[in-house]
Chain A
Amino acid sequence: MNSLHTLLTGILASRSGRFGLSMVLFHVLLALVSPWLVPYQFDSQSEIINHIGPSLQHWAGLDTLGRDVLTRTMLGGRQAILVTLLATCLALTWGGFCGIMAGYKGGRTDEVIMRGIDIFLAIPFMIFLLLVIATFGNDPVVMILTLGFFYGIGFVRLARAATLDVVVKDYVLAAKSRGEGTFSILFREILPNVRDVLLVESAMRWSWMLLAFSALSFLGFGVTPPTPDWGLMIASARIYMALAAWPVLLPMIALSSLIIGINLTADALAKSLGLDRSTRVLL
């Protein structure tokens, strides 16, 4: 029902939506162009190997190993954003498809898919994630696949719930009585009517996934040093937080501003689509 244009105008209609979207765009743009913008090499160490406060040479100061904090913060979101964005797409695709399928087919298909989902929901996913990474390494592809798989589980439930609302409508019955095939009904009749819900949910899940990714890095399982990453930066600098706050502060601001931006955008989107999350239960 809504083309990209109407979705955009919907988000831009509210002040928080404009603010959120510009924050997200800023981060994405920065991630794209930062390698050409940064003032220093991310791994070059200054001759003074110690914490130093903001100065004219180093706007955000130096970290424990004497590396420029601003440079590292600017680059620190690249891998996180790329991995989580791709993982979100993966989660949306497989979760959405399975959910719609389960809701439309019902019966045994529904039962098999949903019980499978229940099994995975019973496993504490962070621990499972650590297990997978410990086994297969922290290659970005592995991260994308695991994050995408685990976050897709929520999509299955949501897509199924949304589909159950649609599947009882006469237009689905009309399509069936016309002799339409299953895939035609899924893509023409059902998908366009559950798309909005899925879209809002993907934005929310993207922000959760960013947090999870940073948490993994924080625990030392995400990005391999010396590659800069927000979670990793926070982890390594937090010991000296009382002495030097800036190496922790800047990546924290970066991470939280991106997550807040995504959340504000998702909220504005939900409101403009009439999916007010305060009144609607998202599974």
Chain B
Amino acid sequence: MSGSLLSINGLSIGYSDAQSRSVAVISSVDLSLAAGETLGLVGESGCGKSTLLLAIMGFYKAGLHRLGGDLQFMGEDPGVMPAGDLQKLRGGRMALIPQNAGQSLTPTMKIENQLFEALSLHSDLPSGLWRQRCFSLLDRVQLPDPGELLKRYPHELSGGQQQRIAIAMALAGEPDLLLLDEPTTGLDVTTQVHVLDLLREITAETRTAMIYVSHDIGVISAVCNKIAIMYAGELVELGDKNDLIDNPAHPYTKGLLDSIPRMHQDRLPVSLEGMQPQPGQRNFDNQCVFVERCSYARPVCQQHKPDSSTVSARQVKCHLASEALDWKSVEGSDRINKPTKFSRVVLRVKDLSVSYDRPSLTRWFTGRQPSLVTQGIEFEIRRGEILGLVGESGSGKSTLLKTIAGLQKPFAGSLMLNDQFDLRHSVGSRDADCQQKIQLVFQNPDASLNPSQTVEAILARPIKLYFGSSDEAIRQQVDEILTRVNLPLAYRTRYPGQLSGGEKQRIAIARALVAKPDLILCDEITSALDVSVQASIIKLLLRLRQESQLAILFVSHDLAVVDVLADQVVVLEQGRIRESGPVSRVFSDPDHAYTQSLLASVL
């Protein structure tokens, strides 16, 4: 293909299983990219997007190899290049910006030396001019005071600055193609906006082509002009950004878009049922990969694998693509229906401040005040109410949650549960009743479920601990709770490692529910999940709230999720409440400048 920078034809990547059969992780991907084009690669975790990105650089993870197809970058195939050429190519004409810049910068090297290293490898500049070039690179990524910055170590920079340095390093070799692997995932929303702006400017000015991998369509649509949707190792839809988002042709794209919560939406996001098939789990030679989860599937979808066809200026792999354009959003998506009346107060927090400083003799003598992580926090949660706690990292959200859970002692102020229990005590010295009434659900279910216990053991433990029920009664309650969180009873005997991310999070929620709590503390419980799964967790929380009049404290950095879910919202910045009130009021008519800037960063 002439004129294209990168062309991929029918590329398949996979591994050989124990019976030495080839299992495809990526199958027959067609893609081409011209200079100056920006392509976003979207898909759920495990769909093969990172594998594809690495393959473009000629890198295959251990065990993976190319099963077939053709990959050309500027007329050459990185997969068969000699090692020396490949070294020049990587970081030179093609540069990768990784997910976590903090970890990709060498911690013991000053920024200056890291940039020099990149320049020495990938530019022809004489070493006398390197410093000057560094200045212009840092200027390019909009970092102020380059002279000072070059002398620093990576840990002396903020996350956003680190990511900018990583971008500057990538730009050092004046690449023709930038590969980005979720470069803003670990950043705060306001920082993310700046990095995305920067990327957009760079591509506009230098005509650098870009492939941007992300699970977040919002981020992608802010930067890219083309979007490719991947599902189970296949490219199911590829087209212009606006076309694809406004009018998706593949049912999966449609489902994915419907599952994203948006601000000021009056309907709940719709979850995609089922799970993405794992590589080698099923044979998709004679059927569509999406057939199991597709709500439009016809008999033909189970008999023939759809070829890639061109429908209204885009590539789609679906038998029904031409009809699909006319389909409306999935019918029956529930309206958001927020209760307005709540009964008694469950949690009352007054003038709370927390400090990590420990009391010490010197402090007592000098009378020096400890540094406070949060200060003057006041809010109430009533029965059946969901309170959203939003703020960027370091705003004190998690500290607050830990304090309520009794894992951190407050410095001053009062916390009362049901106007009955004083929550200033640490969890060990609280009454058993009080311990039972507050339950915590963590961000990452991989870490919060013990991998060596079965689902049944995990769920039975709180029942045994709080109620001391008989084995028979426990068994019954475990069954009940599994049904309530929409999981099959057969999961009792499974280990967490045998469940998907969404299922694990359901178990974590179920573990909190079996204690029959009055208050559930949720720490970013949807942020480790794929969007299609996130929607179902949101729905579950709303249903549980309604069924048992639970009070939920929902900590999140995702304003759209809070908008959909919460009744009240508290905006935290640097440990202080900037604004609080009903979600509908705060998010549509924010008073505080910080809330406004947060809202402006929502993509």
A residues whose Cβ falls under 8 Å from a Cβ of B: 1, 169-171, 173-174, 176-180, 188-189, 192-193, 195
**B452, CB-defined interface residue at 8 Å:** yes
Given A177-B405, A177-B406, A192-B462 contact (CB < 8 Å):
no
Which residue of the partner chain B has the closest CB to A196? B452
Interface flag for B447 (CB, 8 Å) = yes
> Which residues of chain B are within 8 angstroms of A174 by Cβ–Cβ distance?
440, 442, 448, 511
Of residues 508 to 556 in B, which have CB atoms within 8 Å of A's CB atoms? 511, 515
Contact present for A188 and B465 (CB under 8 Å)? no
| A170-B448, A176-B427, A179-B435 as given contacts; A1 in contact with B495, CB under 8 Å | yes
Give the Cβ gap from B304 to chain A, nearest Cβ, in Å. Answer: 40
Ordered by A's residue number, 29 sampled pairs between the chains whose C-beta atoms are within 8 Å are: A1-B452, A169-B447, A169-B450, A170-B444, A170-B448, A171-B449, A173-B442, A173-B448, A174-B440, A174-B442, A174-B511, A176-B427, A177-B440, A178-B439, A178-B462, A178-B465, A178-B515, A179-B428, A179-B430, A179-B432, A179-B436, A179-B465, A180-B465, A188-B450, A188-B461, A192-B450, A192-B453, A193-B451, A193-B452
> Residue A173 contacts which of B407, B432, B439, B449 (CB distance < 8 angstroms)?
B407
- Evaluate contact between A176 and B407: CB separation under 8 angstroms: yes
Residues B465 and A170 in contact, CB atoms below 8 Å apart: no
Report the bound CA distance from A147 to B502 in whole Å: 49
The residue of chain A having its C-beta at the shortest distance from the C-beta of B436 within the complex is: A179
User: Could you tell me how many residues of chain B have their Cβ less than 8 Å away from some Cβ of chain A?
Assistant: 27
- Which of A170, A173, A176, A180 has the most chain B CB atoms inside 10 A of its CB? A170
Residues of B whose CB lies within 8 Å of any CB of A are: 405-407, 427-428, 430, 432, 435-436, 439-440, 442-444, 447-453, 461-462, 465, 495, 511, 515
Closest 8 pairs between A and B when the two form their complex, measured CB to CB: A179-B435, A192-B452, A170-B448, A170-B447, A1-B452, A170-B442, A171-B450, A177-B405
B19 to chain A: closest CB distance in Å? 16
A171, A176, A188, A192, most chain B CB atoms within 10 A: A171
* A85 → chain B closest CB, angstroms: 26
Closest Cβ of chain A: how far from B137's Cβ, in Å?
Answer: 37
Chain A residues, Cβ within 8 Å of B405? 177
Q: Which residues on B sit within 8 Å (CB–CB) of A169? A: 447-448, 450
- The interface residues of chain A, by DSSP majority, are classed as helix
Q: For the complex, give the distance between the alpha carbons of A195 and B452 in Å.
A: 10
Within the complex, what minimum Cβ distance (angstroms) separates B437 from chain A? 11
A10 to chain B: closest CB distance in Å? 15
A271 to chain B, nearest CB (A): 16
Given contacts A177-B407, A179-B432, A179-B465, contact A1 B440 (CB under 8 A): no
List of B residues within 8 angstroms of A180 by Cβ: 465
Asked whether, in the complex, the Cβ of A171 is within 8 Å of the Cβ of B448, the reply is: yes
Residues of the B chain whose Cβ atoms lie less than 8 Å from the Cβ of A188: 450, 453, 461
Residues of A within 8 Å of B440, CB to CB, are 174, 177
Query: A184's closest neighbor in chain B, by CB?
Result: B465
Which residue of the partner chain B has the closest CB to A168? B447
A189 touches B450 (CB 8 A): yes
CA–CA, A169 and B465, complex, Å: 21
Min CB gap B474→A, angstroms:
15
In the assembled complex, which residues on chain A have CB atoms less than 8 Å from the CB atom of B436?
179
B450 surroundings in chain A (CB, below 8 A): 169, 171, 188-189, 192-193
